[in-house]
Every structure is written in structure tokens, then in C-alpha cells.
Amino acid sequence: MAALTEVDVAPLAPERFESVLDPEQYDSFRQTVDRSRAMFEGRTIWNVNSTAAGGGVAEMLGPLLAYARGAGVDARWIVISGNADFFRVTKRIHNHLHGATGDGGGLGRAEHDAYEGALEPNVSELAARVGPDDVVLLHDPQTAGMVPRLSETGALVVWRCHVGLDMANDIAREAWSFLTPYVTGAAGHIFSREAFSWEGLDRDKITIIPPSIDAFSPKNQDLDRDTVQAILNASGLVRDGARGRPLFTQVDGSEAEVTRQAEIFEDAPLAPDDRVVLQVSRWDRLKDPLGVINGFAEHVAPSTDAHLVYAGPAVAAVSDDPEGAEVLSESHAAWEALPADVRRRVHLAALPMDDGQENAAIVNALQRYADVVVQKSIAEGFGLTVSEAMWKARPVVGTRIGGIQDQIVDGETGYLVDDPRDLEAYGTAVTRLLEDPEGAERIGGEAQRRVRDEFLGARHLAQYLALFQRLRPT
């Protein structure tokens, strides 16, 4: 039985960026695409991660590879397999990289054995397919152990870490110690922020490449108000109010309809005219769903008429996150404990994941429907939901951690809360936006412009291609 799964990626025309970039930006991007087409002729770029659905890495890979393929580059997406012990260890590493203890377990010899044992069939299978002129881009802790064996093929092997900590602590350093022997031999190391770079790695090998969103994907494509209402009605998130059809455009250009419903914990559905504060995140303690819920209940609900929606994926669908069901259960218990008058204004939604594009369309509609979007993470690698909401001209309240602070310019494109555990400050920022609709609209407009200039896929793809050319010029 094959250990690897190849994700089918249909090509997308890079020329579509002309409609969202200014002329100078687009001309620079087009020149990069032309160079890469010649550079990668007869070569393959392999991207390897641990899941095809759920989380920002999977969402970025699809469109980036599609545009590379549209530019004439043979870019492929490989998903590794793993057992329960492997994902337990990699989730522990993930938490440690954020400076958190997670399940409290260690990272010793037994964890190395479980990690390496699960990776062995994956790396053996991939090494047999990779050519010496190829490029292999490995993503996050789950793939780090593949670096030594794949480097032996002669291919250019680069490892990317999408998560990190602004100020390293001993817990994070324990994860670095676990992973460093595996990744040292890579030709390059990519981090999303300079602050995330590890001590002990060769500084000359480190490149900073922030993540990005795809403006044309089902999650970010333009939707009119009637379509937003129809999608939310079809998915069971808003009661009635739908005049259009719940349609969206799939990646291949075909039209599709939202038919699946979310699993929702609520006393009553949202009404079409309810004002909404929204967080979209995995069911992950580092996203602080309990803080989002309690902060809203204590510091937003008493002075506004707004509702809170916390939306995450259906937990069974995210294979590399064994803690998801636990966190959803904890969130449900916190919701049940709220006073009845507040509880009716708090809605927990586990969004269907059977079809990734349908899920993305539901998230798109939710973000466009929201009056304020929050990302109250305790730790964060980058937080693509921030750029997603900003692209839709939504004002965002986020914590001043990780890549969130790279996206939000405090007071201009949103508000930053200095202490992730300061529920009052979070509530005050949200309330300020709810009480000043004109100011919120102005901030949303500035947010959208910032994403266009800094966080679209054209910039991201150009940086990857420039790095590969620098590491192995032709």
C-alpha cells in the first residue's frame, strides 16, 4: 500500500493577477514567471506536507502550485501518511514550537523512533521518484525527517517552517533540538518571520517568505450580498433572508452549489440583520476559543447587540490534529456555561469538510457577512484568516503575536491587542469597531489595500522561484 498521496492540481493562468495588481507589480511578476518557465524546463518541484485539507499550509499550496503549473512548471503536491503515534509527536512538536507544553509529553528517544519509523515508508517511496535536477520543498515538522534521505538524491531540498515564536523559550528550544539534526543538511530554510528563525542554523541558508492568500479561490473570490445570504442559509448558519442561490466558482472555473450543513451549537439561529463578530480557526487551544467566547460574553455582549460566531472545521476531517475533538468539547462546555441571555448570542459551528471548496465558500460568506473579524490567538505562525478577512474589507482585531502583527497596522488596517490573554482589551477593541461603523468601514478599506500590496500569491510565488534560482542557478 502506497504511503504517499499525490494531490491533483489543475493549472491556473498566472495572467489572472493582472486584474488585482497594479501595472508595475504585474509586470515584475510576469517577468519572474517567464524566467521560471525556462529555468524549470524538464524539472519537477515537489511540495510535501501532511494533509490536503485543513489549515493554512494546505490552503496555500493548492493555488501556488496551480499558478506554477499554469506557468509551465511541473509542480506537484505530495501528502505523507502517518499513524496515531506520529501525529501525537508532531502535534507535540507543533505546540513546543509555539512555546507551549501541549500534552506535557517529552521529545526523547521514543519520540524520535516513532517519528522516524512513520516517515520511513514515505521517504523511501518519494526518494525513488525524485530526480537529481528536481526541487523538493518540505513543509513543517511532519516532513523535517525526510531531509537527509532526499538530499542524497541530488535534488535541491529546502525545508519550510510555517510556525514559530516571537521570543524563544526553553520549550521551543526543545523542539528545535529535536528537529535540527534532520534539517541541517537542507540547502535552505524558510521561515515566515525573521523572529521565527532558529538559533544554531546557518544564517546564510535562511530566507524569510511571508505566506499569502489566493484572491480568486472559493474562499476569497468576490460574492455579492444575496449570494452570501444564500450560502449561509443553505449551510444552516443564518435563518432565512436568502434571495439568491448558494453558488460559487470552483478552482476549475465551473459553478457549484453549497448543499452541506454545518454542525451548529446554538440556542437559536442567526437572523439576517444580526451583527456578527467572527473567528474562523481550527479547534486548537493556541487559537484560544475559550478566550474568544468568554471575552465576548464579559466585554462585548453587555454593551452591544452583536452575536459571536466561532467557526472551525469538522474535527474528524483534520487528520493531523488529534486534539481537535477535545478542544471542540471544551468550547461546547464553555458555551453551555454561559448565562442564557448571552448564550443565545454565541454560536459554535463545525463546518463541513467533505468538499474543501464548498467549505472555503462557506468561510468566504461568513467573513463577508461579519461586521468584525477577530483572531485572538495565543500563539500564531502567521494567521492567514487575517489576510482573508482584510481582503474582504473587514476590520480585524488580532493579538500582537506572530504574523498577525505583520498584517495589521494598528489603528489603520485593524486593531492589535498586546496581551493575548487580556480579555478586556480584546472586548474593548471589538466594541469600538461595532460602535463606529464608519470608522470600521474606513479601516476595512485600508486593510484590503494592504493585502493587495503585500499578501497575494503573486508575491509569494515570485519569492519561491527567486530562491530556487539563487540556490541552484542554471
Question: What is the pLDDT, as a whole number, of residue 321?
Answer: 65
* Length of the chain measured in residues: 474
Task: List, edge to edge, every strand of the sheet that includes 206-208.
Answer: 5-7, 74-79, 44-49, 135-139, 156-161, 188-191, 206-208
User: Which of these, 248, 219, 210, lies nearest to 392 by C-alpha position?
Assistant: 219
Q: Which pLDDT band holds residue 56 (cuts at 50, 70, 90)? A: confident
Contact 403, 382 (CB under 8 A): yes
pLDDT tens digits, 69-90: 999 999 999 999 999 999 999 9
Axis crossing angle, helix 109-127 with helix 84-97, rounded to the nearest 10: 110
Mean pLDDT value across the chain: 94
Residue 281 has pLDDT above 90, yes or no: yes
Superfamily of domain 262-454: Glycogen Phosphorylase B; (3.40.50.2000)
Dmax of the chain from CA atoms?
66
Q: Report whether 358 contacts 380 (CB < 8 A).
A: no
pLDDT-based confidence at 465, cuts 50/70/90?
confident
- Encode pLDDT of 159-207 as tens digits: 999 998 888 999 999 999 999 999 999 999 999 999 999 999 999 999 9
Taking only the tens place, the pLDDT of each residue in 309-327 is 999 999 875 555 678 899 9
Helix (H, G, I), strand (E, B) or coil at 177: helix
Under 8 Å between Cβ of 339 and 471: no
114-142 confidence digits (pLDDT tens) = 999 999 999 999 999 999 999 999 999 99
CATH 3.40.50.2000 domain residues, the chain = 5-212+456-471, 262-454
How far apart are the C-alpha atoms of 316 and 328, rounded to whole Å? 11
Helix (H) or strand (E) holding 352: none
Query: Is residue 463 classed as helix, strand or coil in its secondary structure?
Result: helix
Find the mean pLDDT for residues 222-241: 92
**H or E stretch including 443?**
helix 437-454
135-139/156-161 β-pairing: parallel
- For residue 169, the tally of other CB atoms under 10 A from its CB is 12
| pLDDT tens digits, one per residue of 350-370 | 999 999 899 999 999 999 999
**Nearest CA-CA partner of 101 in 281, 282, 285, 375:** 285
What are the grid coordinates assigned to 60, written together? 496555500
What is the model's pLDDT at position 317?
Answer: 54
pTM: 0.86
Q: In 263-304, where do the E strands start and end?
A: 263-265, 276-280
For residues 25 and 18, the answer to whether their CB atoms sit within 8 Å is no
Superfamily per CATH, domain 5-212+456-471:
Glycogen Phosphorylase B; (3.40.50.2000)
- Among 140, 146, 137, residue whose Cα is nearest residue 463: 137
